């Protein structure tokens, strides 16, 4: 009798333990469903692709308990309204470029990158190990947003032009689609900047309401068809020597996530960044060869244009820093980091890259 009572009691205890443990597991892996709006059309399979990649991997990592449904620009909100939608909480998160929103505050530019600033590796280093993310999220907290770096185009091209740019004077009165602070600086050189979402640029160039347009690099630009309506393709894209795309998350939604899901988002965003860069590095050269074969004429900006742009950029930054304490705080820290990076770059990276650039296989 004692033996039967013991076995029966043990069985009841085991069942009770199972009953108690199940809710704890369920609480750590709750069912959560979010929506993500992208600032990019589906035709841009790399920039929009960061959204589909993140969605797929989050579901895999959490056994389908945390799902994020991506939407292209215009499906929920316009490409340039992503920030407002996330800030207000009507959409949980977005993939977007902070430089789209400098009209609200020039400090938004830092997350994407500053014109004539850091290259891709240096900028990612600043974000993760140079204090950049802390400064960016301190600033974005005022907009009820938490940001995670989640994609990058690498160095971009300088855009498509209907006529050649042989001197600084050729920029005067030029109507150009150019995003972010690059447009502010180009306006100092005589350009009339236009802020137009990626999917609307082609028709504006075709109609002649634009004389020039920049967007990204050969792989994306080929997909958008700019080579059909503008013949000259210029380099370098000095306003975006790199361009970091971030996952903007409503701050309240971020705070409500279980720590495991927060860690999953950090991990997947980092993976997404690597895939995005690798895809651009692999595909941009191939696209460039195709564009040239279809009649695109490659050009490099005249030295006087580059010199004038650099000088204007530093004038703009000084003006913003004098008028905006947040911009000054970020710019002072960024400047100190940038100077040390340039010393290292001159010593190690540039001699190596410069030597190989002059070689053929």
pLDDT of residue 120: 97
Strands 192-194 and 244-250: unpaired
Element (H, E) at 60: helix 49-61
Rg (the chain; Cα; Å): 24
Element (H, E) at 181: helix 180-188
**Average confidence score pLDDT of the chain:** 92
> What tens digit of pLDDT does each residue of 267-294 get?
999 999 999 999 999 999 999 999 999 9
In this model, does residue 79 exceed pLDDT 70?
A: yes
Neighbours of 354 (CB within 10 A): 9
Better-scored residue on pLDDT, 215 or 179: 215
pLDDT of residue 26: 53
Question: Exposed e or buried b for every residue in 60-76, given b needs 16+ CB within 10 A?
Answer: ebbeebbebebbbbbeb
pLDDT of residue 15: 44
Task: Give CA–CA dist 217/222, Å, rounded.
Answer: 8
- Per the CB < 8 A criterion, the answer to whether 98 and 181 are in contact is no
In this model, does residue 8 exceed pLDDT 80?
A: no
Task: Give CA–CA dist 46/62, Å, rounded.
Answer: 24
What average pLDDT does this structure show over 259-268? 97
Strands of the sheet containing 232-235, edge to edge, are 192-194, 175-177, 212-213, 159-161, 232-235, 297-300
What average pLDDT does this structure show over 300-312? 98
**Phi-psi sector, 295: left (phi>0), alpha (psi -120 to 50), beta:** left
Q: What is the pTM of this model?
A: 0.89
Better-scored residue on pLDDT, 17 or 98: 98
Place of tokens 């005249």: 302
Task: Give CA–CA dist 66/64, Å, rounded.
Answer: 6
- Per the CB < 8 A criterion, the answer to whether 240 and 182 are in contact is yes
- Helix pair angle (49-61, 259-293), 10° resolution: 150
- Helix pair angle (120-129, 132-140), 10° resolution: 70
User: pLDDT band for position 10 (50/70/90)?
Assistant: very low
In this model, does residue 360 exceed pLDDT 90?
A: no
In this model, does residue 20 exceed pLDDT 70?
A: no
* Contact residues for 231 (Cβ-Cβ < 8 A; gap 6+): 161, 162, 295, 296, 297
Better-scored residue on pLDDT, 8 or 129: 129
Copy the structure tokens of residue 271: 């993976």
Strands 93-96 and 244-250: antiparallel
Place of tokens 């039967």: 4
């Amino acid at each position: 009798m004692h033996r039967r009572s013991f076995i029966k009691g043990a069985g009841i205890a085991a069942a009770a333990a199972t009953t108690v443990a199940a809710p704890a597991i369920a609480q750590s892996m709750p069912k959560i469903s979010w929506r993500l709006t992208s600032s990019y059309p589906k035709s841009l399979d790399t920039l929009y692709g960061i959204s589909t990649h993140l969605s797929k991997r989050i579901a895999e990592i959490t056994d389908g308990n945390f799902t994020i449904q991506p939407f292209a620009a215009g499906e929920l909100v316009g490409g340039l309204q992503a920030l407002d939608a996330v800030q207000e909480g009507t959409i949980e998160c977005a993939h977007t470029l902070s430089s789209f929103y400098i009209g609200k505050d020039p400090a938004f530019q830092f997350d994407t990158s500053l014109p004539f600033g850091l290259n891709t590796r240096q900028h990612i280093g600043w974000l993760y190990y140079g204090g950049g993310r802390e400064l960016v999220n301190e600033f974005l907290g005022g907009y009820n947003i938490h940001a995670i770096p989640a994609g990058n185009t690498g160095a971009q091209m300088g855009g498509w032009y209907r006529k050649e740019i042989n001197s600084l004077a050729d920029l005067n009165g030029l109507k150009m689609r150019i995003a972010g602070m690059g447009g502010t600086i180009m306006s100092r050189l005589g350009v009339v900047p236009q802020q137009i979402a990626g999917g609307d640029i082609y028709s504006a160039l075709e109609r002649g309401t634009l004389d020039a347009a920049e967007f990204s690099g050969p792989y994306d630009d080929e997909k958008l068809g700019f080579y059909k309506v503008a013949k000259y393709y210029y380099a370098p894209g000095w306003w975006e020597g790199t361009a970091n795309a971030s996952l903007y998350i409503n701050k309240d939604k971020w705070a409500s996530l279980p720590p495991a899901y927060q860690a999953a988002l950090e991990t997947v965003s980092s993976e997404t960044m690597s895939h995005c860069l690798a895809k651009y590095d692999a595909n941009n050269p191939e696209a460039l060869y195709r564009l040239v074969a279809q009649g695109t004429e490659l050009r490099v900006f005249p030295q006087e244009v580059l010199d004038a742009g650099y000088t204007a950029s530093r004038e703009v930054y000084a003006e913003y820093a004098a008028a905006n304490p947040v911009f000054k705080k970020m710019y002072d820290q960024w400047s100190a980091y940038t100077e040390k990076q340039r010393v290292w770059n001159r010593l190690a990276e540039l001699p190596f890259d410069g030597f190989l650039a002059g070689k053929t296989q």
